[in-house]
Amino acid sequence: MAITEGQLFQRNRSLHPPAHSPAYKTSALRSPQIPLWSLQNTISEISGPTFKPAELGALDHDLYSNYAKSGDPIGERTIVHGHVRDENGRGVANTLVEIWQANAGGRYRHVNDRYMAPIDPNFGGCGRTMTDENGYYFFRTVKPGAYPFRNHINSWRPAHIHFSLFGTSFAQRLITQMYFEGDPLIPMDTIANTIPDKAAIERLVAKLDLNASIPLDSLAYRFDIVLRGRRSTLFENKLQGN
Amino acid sequence: MTQTLPYLSETSSQTAGPYVHIGLVPSQAGFDIFANNFTNNLLVPGVAGEVITIEGRIFDGSDTPIRDMLVEIWQANSFGRYNSPEDQHKSLKLEPDFRGWGRTGTDFETGLFTFQTVKPGRVGDQKQAPHVSFWMAARGISMGLATRMYFGDEAAANAADPVLNVIEQAQRRQTLIAERSMRDGKPVYTFNLYLQGPKETVFFDV
């Protein structure tokens, strides 16, 4: 029986920033000018790396504790959780989710960040976890602060957390950012506005989730993520795919 | 009124930003946090195949090496088998300890990236030439860039490769071919990428 590996759904590029977004100045010299070549998926794109929970440390998902040296980090105790699904709506199980962020003052623990806000001696700013068998994940952290960046003279980033995801196919690889509900900096943010679709920007804004908050302890925000979907394996007797 | 299809929309991409190292290469950001780190060394004890180094630079539109780029590679082992449940070509030997994936950041001074790995075999149905998938993210890049590296010493296989041959301009295919050289008796493949200009690398919508 002839088998063709199930290919990923074509990416809807209108939901993603164009390579060259003129308002985001750094993109000018870093954007390919020739259109991307469309590549029909082969096993090289359909396959992807796998990771095991045993590769991660017990505190890797707990940014509140995983760099604590002399005490707890400063900032709002925050839980971020959500569901990773594919475009078919199926949970993506056992996939690696990595995050990084500034501290509560808007400063990154990075040799190249020279913002005047202080480094928090008890906060590293990165974490990682695996989704469970149904595609759910959670982290504990502190809410990051806003910070300025040198795009325009007075450009500020809204509070955000960077997310990196794999899925099951290397062609599902995704890096994005999560914003926080109610942040007045989002509508004027150069980076968020590289996305041409307003509804798509709103899907990057995590909603306060009081039901998931821990009373007298931590607030929670929910951030769901959707990775590309794919056709089922194509058999000669089941040509419709799914 | 028609019915609506039940599909969800993919989450939008956003730039990895200048501090991508914090999350994905913390040692380069300047601190040590995880006991187990993902690195640019794909080699594991006992892995079969020719040990190689892959290195190069990624140039922006002003011909300046990009010094804050995240680079990831994904490849099959020397038998042509991907270490992924999606690869069911069971006639090709799987090496469970060889993940076939690595990541690094380009050097903050020189822009150089380096990987230690083995040369991959021909994958799947064997029609494609040996190759390594590349994925890159950085400040100023709003969505990860995907391309492939092929091997300069595989001229016959490259000439028959169905992906290279779909690229209309034959000279642009050359942007994906890494040259082989020897350094201290060991093979090095040099793969330089250009985001813009007459040598612009072919990037794929995968």
Residue ranges of domains in chain B: 20-194
Kindly indicate the confidence band of residue A187, based on its pLDDT and cuts at 50, 70 and 90. very high
- How many interface pairs between A and B have CB atoms less than 8 angstroms apart? 260
CA B106-A56-A224 angle, to 5 degrees, is 85
- ipTM of the prediction: 0.97
Q: How many residues does chain A have?
A: 242
> From CA B73, how far away is CA B133, in angstroms rounded?
5
Choosing from A108, A137, A179, A221, the catalytic residue is: A108
> So what CATH class is A3-10+45-235?
mainly beta
**How confident is the model at residue A3, as a pLDDT?**
46
B24 touches A at CB < 8 Å: yes
Average pLDDT over residues A202-213: 98
B85-133 residue pLDDT tens: 999 999 999 999 999 999 999 999 999 999 999 999 999 999 999 999 9
Q: Which residue has the higher pLDDT, A238 or A151?
A: A151
Instruction: Give A149's contacts (C-beta < 8 A, 6+ positions apart).
Output: A155, A156, A157
Q: What is the dihedral of CA A177, A178, A181, A187, to 10 degrees?
A: 10
> From CA A168, how far away is CA B188, in angstroms rounded?
30
Q: Which amino acid is at A151?
A: N
Average pLDDT over residues A36-52: 96
Low-confidence ranges of chain B (pLDDT < 70): none
> With 80 as the cut, is the pLDDT of residue A238 above it?
no
pLDDT over 70 for what percent of chain A?
A: 94
B202 touches A at CB < 8 Å: yes
Of A43, A168, A204, the CB nearest to B12: A204
- Per residue in A170-197, is it b (16+ CB within 10 Å) or e — as a string? bbbbbbbbbbbeebebbeebbbbbbbee
Q: Is A140 helix (H, G, I), strand (E, B) or coil?
A: strand
Domains of chain A, residue spans: 3-10+45-235
Average pLDDT over residues A8-17: 96
A226 beta partners: A85
**How confident is the model at residue A6, as a pLDDT?**
82
- Residue A35: other Cβ atoms inside 10 A: 9
B72-111 residues touching A, CB cutoff 8 A: 72, 74, 76, 82-87, 89, 99-101, 108
**Rounded to a whole number, what is the distance in Å from the CA of A219 to chain B's nearest CA?**
23
Q: Does domain B20-194 have CATH number 2.60.130.10?
A: yes
**How confident is the model at residue A233, as a pLDDT?**
64
**How confident is the model at residue B134, as a pLDDT?**
98
Would the CB atoms of B31 and A124 count as touching at under 8 Å? yes
Active-site residue flag, A16: no
Q: Residue A133 phi/psi, 5° resolution?
A: -65, -15
> With 90 as the cut, is the pLDDT of residue A236 above it?
no
Query: Considering the entire predicted model, what is its pTM?
Result: 0.96
